[in-house]
A = this chain, B = another copy of it.
Amino acid sequence: MTSTRYDVLGLGNAIVDVISRADDDFLLKHGMRKASMSLIDEARAIQIYEAMGPAVEISGGSAANTIVGVAGFGARAAFIGRVKDDGLGTVFVHDIRAAGVAFETAPSADGPSTGRCYVLVTPDGERTMHTFLGAAQDLHPRDIDDDAVAGAAIVYLEGYLWDPPHAKEAFRKAAAVAHRAKRLVALSLSDAFCVDRWRDEFLHLLRTGTVDLLFCNEAELRSLYQTADLDTAIAALRVDARRAVVTRSANGCIVVEGQQTVEVPAYPVDRVVDTTGAGDLFAAGFLFGMARGLSDDGAARLGALAAAEVISHLGARPETSLRVLAQENGLLK
């Protein structure tokens, strides 16, 4: 392997989160599935925005959140994703660069506006998401900078990329470039309903070795194997995935690699404000740990810490230095 320019490069939908508090009645009234991510068109986006309460705009996007977290730990990080040259696009680009992430994807000059996700946070901290992909739809294989991908120790891809039409081709191209350069390819399953839309293709990615490391939560894993029984799903996962991390909210996580298993508890949190970004930031800590050569146990502890930080406040991007936080908690020197 040649030397690397980046520790982790992420590829994902470039999205700005529009976050508002809502009660359970609001979800019921508008026919929303709690704790899921639904794709919506522009008409429905306008309808939801008009109905929802006062909001806060914070840059988001699942893989983008992860990459910002990786940079927050002090690693060299890059992101590829598509916004439009508009107000929210300016916000997204500013925020990811200000977080120390290399970001060079040219914004669209025309076409749909920058993607956004309406995040409704209920009093229990759960978030119900409605995403208008917008410009993220136009992520294309030509947006993949081969040199940047080949120069990253790990390439991280989000399952949500299967939703926009050309983005999966960009994903496949990035994975091929990474493997030719003998790099690692990691995938997040993103959301149980996303898995339901693309189950066969995700299983194919695992079984063909296109993916070396899988991140998923229990709901996504159950959806992948269409079973309510977690043990059954994990047994199947041991066969299909080279390595996988299953996050289990307050129950911590399990790392499986063949018949090996490592379990790590969740970090205690005083008050869960908003679970948005918990999985994204867990992946950030784990990927950073891998890039630094830590054990699965050490990497998972960094993931748990980053997840705990992000669920303690509104928004899916860390509000504090993850590097300093990890040092204060004795996980990094």
- Residues of A that sit less than 8 Å from B by CB: 20-21, 49-50, 52-59, 68, 86-88, 91, 94-96, 98-99, 314-315, 317, 319
Contacts and interface: CB of A to CB of B under 8 A. Distances in A.
Contacts of A319: 21
Nearest to A72: B54
The 8 A-B pairs of least Cβ separation, nearest first, read: A87-B87, A57-B57, A54-B95, A54-B98, A53-B98, A54-B99, A56-B58, A87-B88
Secondary structure of the A contact surface, majority rule: mixed
A54 B20 CA distance: 19
Contact of A68 (B54, B56, B87, B317): B54
How many copies of this chain sit in the oligomeric assembly? 2
Nearest to A56: B58
Q: Of residues A50, A52, A55, A57, which shows the largest number of chain B Cβ atoms within 10 Å of its Cβ?
A: A57
Contact of A87 (B59, B86, B96): B86
19 contacts: A20-B98, A49-B94, A50-B94, A52-B98, A53-B98, A53-B99, A54-B59, A54-B94, A55-B95, A56-B56, A56-B58, A56-B315, A57-B57, A57-B58, A57-B91, A86-B87, A87-B87, A87-B88, A314-B314
Q: Of residues A49, A54, A56, which shows the largest number of chain B Cβ atoms within 10 Å of its Cβ?
A: A54
Contacts of A55: 91, 94-95, 98
A317 B54 contact: yes
A146 B55 CA distance: 30
